[in-house]
Amino acid sequence: MKELAQQLKEKNLKVTPQRLAIFQMLTNTDEHPSAEAIYKALESIHPTMSLATVYKTLDALKKANLIQELNVGEDCFRYDARTHSHPHLICISCTKVVDMESIYLDDIRKRIEQDTNFDIVNEKIYFYGVCPDCKEKKED
């Protein structure tokens, strides 16, 4: 995997400690954290970093297509370092968000383009349900 700093440079983004920390955190987690969660997670390492910087950085990374913004229906956005389009599964019990690799997305796109005559360029797909862990707990 390409160095994170290198990826920033290629997008003409200056490499600052704050940016690296945020980008790195997002690439190393699968928890789809919110801006607030990122801010708190990095608090101990970057005590002077402000929430505004987190938002500005996320905006820069988003525009550079290095991360994507998720809107799972909560009161805030979540962020995902996987930029290729893929559906997300949200557990309505524990609110965790899980990535889904979709093999059938291309098929669906094509069918929709045929049916509607839209040129599809992107999609946001969220499935809501109960995750295996929470199902188990309820059975107890």
Partner DNA sequence: ATAAATGCAAAACCTTTGCACGCCT
Partner DNA sequence: AGGCGTGCAAAGGTTTTGCATTTAT
Give the one entry of DNA, a second copy, none that residue 135 binds, where binding means its C-beta sits below a cut-off of 5 to 8 angstroms depending on kind: a second copy
- Return the residue matching tokens 């799972």: 72
Site for a second copy (CB under 8 A): which residue of 51, 52, 76, 125? 125
Is the CB of 1 or the CB of 121 nearer to a second copy?
121
Q: Cβ distance 43 to 98 under 8 Å?
A: no
Q: Work out how close the CB of 68 gets to a second copy at its nearest, in angstroms, rounded to a whole number.
A: 11
Q: Does 77 bind DNA (CB under 7 A)?
A: yes
And the tokens for 5? Answer: 């700093």
Q: Work out how close the CB of 19 gets to DNA at its nearest, in angstroms, rounded to a whole number.
A: 4
**What DSSP assignment string belongs to 58-118?**
HHHHHHTTSSEEE--SSSS-EEES--S---EEEETTT--EEE---SSHHHHHHHHHHHH--
And the tokens for 78? Answer: 């979540």
Question: What does the binding site for a second copy look like in residue numbers (CB under 8 A)?
Answer: 71, 73, 87, 89, 91-92, 98, 100, 104, 108-109, 111-113, 115-132, 135
